[in-house]
Amino acid sequence: MPKLDIVILAAGLGKRMHSELPKVLHNLANRPLLSYVLDTASALSPQRICVIYGHGGELVPKVINNDKVTWVKQELQLGTGHALMQALPYLDKEGITLVLYGDVPLIQIETLEKLIAMTAETSLILLTAELNQPSGYGRIGRNAKTNEITFIIEEKDATIIQQEIREINTGIMAISNKYLYNWLGQLKNSNAQGEYYLTDIVTMAAKANVKINAIQPEHVWEVLGVNSKAQLAALERIYQNNFANRLMEQGVILIDPSRIDIRGQLNCGTDVTIDINCIFEGLVQLGDFVIVGAHSILKNVKVAANTIIAPFSLIEESEIGENCRIGPYARIRPGTELANEVHIGNFVEIKNSSFSAGSKANHLSYIGDTVAGKNVNIGAGTITCNYNGASKHQTVIEDDVFIGSGTQLIAPVKLAKGSTIGAGSTITRDTPLNQLTLSRTKQISVPGWKRPAKK
Ligand code: UD1
Ligand code: CA
């Protein structure tokens, strides 16, 4: 195998995105387009990856923040040929170079491996595709008799007849480096766009009798590029659809595979069910038989087996045990750990807290910076007052505590094992073991009192 260098072209303006942000930094499933291409490039283990950046300046290397990459700035964007020329000082004198585009994120490793395997020290291999609607792309010119590739013509330079050609240049190609030096130096910009076209090296190769071959990707979506917001949205759907299909192949039940969004990694055990319109971000792990109800959002969450997340729950940076029941409408914020058989009901917000096995907060509560033991029952409307305006304080609720509805726990405070708190209490001091504590004002009734009436 010849030595491999990879150059990713990512300096272009992306005019049709109508955005201040450089095109390759736009997100697909919450990650910049360029990071997908970089991951794929790294998987091919090249000696070097060069990224040609330019439009948007230092923002691109700054956001991507990858110091294994050789970042090469193209000060003026004078065309794809000019872009590749900027990488020449960094490329091996021998070996081959694979050219990728920063705005073509879904290209698959297997396709590139095939392309590389075909590229000897003496050849030019193109990745082409047959499109029903080829407009906007460069067209592949072939010799009518031999079918050999002889040129690529950009749409803006093409004759009406050439525009009929449906085989297009994806832009991805592999070239032997020893030609590259020579050919790039000879590029001219006498064309409709006044640019140095990388595609012109095809004509040079044909003239020099260098073997030009082409392969096609297995799926057309691999070579779709992003030039507009609509194309970005279309690629997002394709990406999500591929992910959904992979999950279903693993046995996950998706009630509607067209209504799931995974912006990161989602690992599922057996017989997991995911209802419609759920969003998964970061790393989410769902154990066997977990059910995720409709419209739930899970970000960096681990959920153990048999737990049910009821609809409209938002769970972030937390761990949930087995056989729990969460939601509907639960909000579980970072740093929450729930043991097995915990129940968290509607309109309960929990932050940076732990619940041991069998504890429940079923309705309308705020629990922050709290350690709750086993079999604790937190009544509706319980609030931990964990913040005094300056600092946060902890609430400790020991095993078997029962908290009546409408209680405020002013932290720092500890409710000893077996405490019962009367409804409507404001608890400011630690409570003793197994006793009833309440801080309710006495109920009074005013005889003879009359409601004010309008005159
Ligand atoms: C290019 C190809 C065309 C192909 C199409 C596939 C040429 C001349 N044309 O056209 O045959 O069908 O891609 O999408 O190569 N870039 C730079 N610096 C520049 C110009 C471009 O880094 O000076 C980068 C862009 O960021 C982008 C890629 O090169 O990632 C392609 O540039 P773009 O302007 O989109 O090329 P097309 O006109 O679409
Ligand atoms: Ca393009």
What does DSSP assign to residue 25? Answer: G
pLDDT at site 209:
92
Domain that holds residue 411: 252-437
Q: Is residue 273 domain-shared with residue 218, that is, in the same domain?
A: no
Centre of ligand 2 from the C-alpha of residue 27, in Å? 17
pLDDT at site 259:
98
pLDDT at site 2:
83
pLDDT (tens digit per residue) in 28-84: 999 999 999 999 999 999 999 999 999 988 999 999 999 999 999 999 999 999 999
In a domain, 244, yes or no: no
* pLDDT band of 121, cuts 50, 70, 90: low
pTM: 0.93
Q: Find the CATH number of the domain harbouring 366.
A: 2.160.10.10
Strand partners, 384: 409
Q: Is residue 269 domain-shared with residue 214, that is, in the same domain?
A: no
Cβ–ligand 1 distance for 74 under 6 Å, the answer: yes
Centre of ligand 1 from the C-alpha of residue 12, in Å? 7
Query: What's phi and psi for 264, nearest 5 deg?
Result: 155, -135
In a domain, 83, yes or no: yes
d(CA 353, CA 376): 13
In a domain, 239, yes or no: no
Q: Is the pLDDT of residue 418 over 90?
A: yes
363 is catalytic: yes
Q: Is residue 69 domain-shared with residue 8, that is, in the same domain?
A: yes
In the set 18, 26, 219, 363, the catalytic residue is 363
Domains held by the chain: number: 2
Are 344 and 376 contacting, i.e. CB atoms less than 8 angstroms apart? Answer: no
Q: Is residue 200 domain-shared with residue 308, that is, in the same domain?
A: no
Count of beta carbons in the 10 Å neighbourhood of residue 391:
7
* pLDDT band of 13, cuts 50, 70, 90: confident
138 alpha carbon, closest ligand? 1
Q: Is residue 208 domain-shared with residue 262, that is, in the same domain?
A: no
Q: Which residues contact 250 (CB under 8 A, 6 or more apart)?
A: 268
Which ligand 1 atom sits nearest the alpha carbon of residue 170?
6
The alpha carbons of the chain give a radius of gyration, in whole angstroms, of 31
Q: Is residue 126 domain-shared with residue 265, that is, in the same domain?
A: no
Q: Is residue 49 domain-shared with residue 144, that is, in the same domain?
A: yes
In a domain, 229, yes or no: no
Q: Is residue 288 domain-shared with residue 411, that is, in the same domain?
A: yes
pLDDT at site 123:
84
Q: Distances in Å between the alpha carbon of 295 and those of 234, 261, 328?
A: 22, 11, 10
Q: Is residue 386 domain-shared with residue 257, that is, in the same domain?
A: yes
Cβ–ligand 1 distance for 103 under 6 Å, the answer: yes
Which ligand 1 atom sits nearest the alpha carbon of residue 82?
23
Q: Is the pLDDT of residue 120 over 80?
A: no
Q: Is the pLDDT of residue 364 over 90?
A: yes
In a domain, 149, yes or no: yes
What does DSSP assign to residue 442? Answer: P
pLDDT at site 167:
97
- Summarize the confidence of residues 384-392 as an average pLDDT: 93
- Summarize the confidence of residues 6-24 as an average pLDDT: 93
**Which token pair is 341?**
């058989």
Cβ–ligand 1 distance for 198 under 6 Å, the answer: yes
What does DSSP assign to residue 351? Answer: E
In a domain, 342, yes or no: yes
Q: 223, 241, 272 — which closes off a domain?
A: 223
Q: Is residue 394 domain-shared with residue 275, that is, in the same domain?
A: yes
pLDDT (tens digit per residue) in 327-340: 999 999 999 999 99
Q: Is residue 11 domain-shared with residue 121, that is, in the same domain?
A: yes
Centre of ligand 2 from the C-alpha of residue 410, in Å? 60
Mutual angle of helices 109-118 and 33-43, in 10-degree steps: 50
100 alpha carbon, closest ligand? 1
In a domain, 383, yes or no: yes
Q: Is residue 329 domain-shared with residue 424, that is, in the same domain?
A: yes
Cβ–ligand 1 distance for 100 under 6 Å, the answer: no
Residue appearing with tokens 């090249």 = 46
* pLDDT band of 415, cuts 50, 70, 90: very high
- Summarize the confidence of residues 254-261 as an average pLDDT: 98
